[in-house]
Structure 1
């Protein structure tokens, strides 16, 4: 069970929708949100599950939690069929759904936690230990008496993460856990999740549009688009398959001709606007040697690195007909089909 803690075999989810076909007539269409996905997640692994909006990410997570029933295929979490034993599974999983909160809107944050204490029947000592740890590491002490409706998005996200962990779940599903957070808060959440995984071997499935979350937390990433699994492997391998590029934005002391570092860096100048220049380089390459060379050869004032957009990476995979080896049922070169959901 440890090797196949989460297992999906040919899982599908099809929705029937009705679309207007005339003044008084509607036609029924089938929308295939998830299309034959298969993968395994061992116990204790942190996996990034990414893709553009409408790719099927949220639909997959809803099936993993038992909210939705698969239209086909086989799905198990810790040996449990989520749709058949949802209540039993609920005690073993924690979920944070991006823009939706599990907290009580008009109650202070601490009252939501007390309700969860009773709902999950958490032993008092364990509840106090988990709550104290979450409050300290997620910086929630000053928010405990604040009604949830008065919290900012970033504060509520931290509160939701704590709520999802009070009952010691074995699996944690996170949908955009750093959305709305400032740089300092993002760092705290990422450090908290790393420690959680290391100390308690909590299995984490993370969906996000922030590739920095993936780079700092996950050794493995899966890409889904149009309901199909397009890639399953290391993030560096994803960039190689999609031939993605990062952008180095360089501010010089004065306007100069386009920067020309050594050919070994495989860099191209994308844009020049006065003293600012935009340089593209392979996403799988380190920026450090390039930055060092530019700093040594040019009057540098400031610089920043922009990560590739995941939608652009996937679009490039479609254009080139590329797919990771070993991913079955992924006709990347085919015309995309209907999709629905996240």
Structure 2
């Protein structure tokens, strides 16, 4: 049987190509993919050729990006991190998994994968399998919310109401915060209102900083989460935040910081700027010893299973895997009606 994998041959050159099947080893399972969600952040930077890992290398020891000595690592085969599928084979020493289980995890856009048994997680009973493609985006959103250190009654601005921003809006509301959702697309603001936002701000027509100061008697937001990855939005999030407040930068920013003025409100209001990133031993500052990446992802999926978070309305397009080029082009164009695009693999 031929396996199939999504392969990026260069910027905007993508397709589904055949690849060999991996052999099953001790401690491993074979999973056949049902659905694989496409990230509109990290994966689009790879598709567009703007991701820093294409021109630089990450030095784990130094924890720095250094110049890449080799050409860009094309083709990039099997990237992706939002998968759900069925176990079709387990190694003899794997006694805690069984063929036929539906599981979620990270194994990339491929029809079939061999992965460590501990790297896949059973789908909660009764849950629609497509909901599991949100495990990683949900973990990213929850990481940002945890890094915000929200308290009951806080006003929080959530900038960017894409998939991760909408999940963050819901999670912040569940945390007891009063959420102001900021975006430039009315349809996304409508989603945000249904997700629990008390205030929606159309950034095309209104300053979020002015709106948040108006509803807080001039103070500004206690915390702002910036999830769009746009420098002007980060600048506005800083402007919207109260003196000595916190801004959590969780977007994947590209290129130089045009539109970000750190000599203005950031400097004069002594804003605390915190980076939140889902990987690593602790997903955000101050969480070491309590929150691991695994705990974050499982907590999000528990919230989905219990019905506190419903990500399914965020699925805007389900596309056959063979049409992956069309799916990425759809995201690349940034049409107003596009949220979560999901690849469907034949089972």
Q: TM-score range by the shorter chain?
A: under 0.3
TM-score when scaled to structure 2?
0.27
TM-score when scaled to structure 1?
0.27
Higher relative contact order (CA 8 A, sep 6+): 1
**Greater Rg by CA:** 1
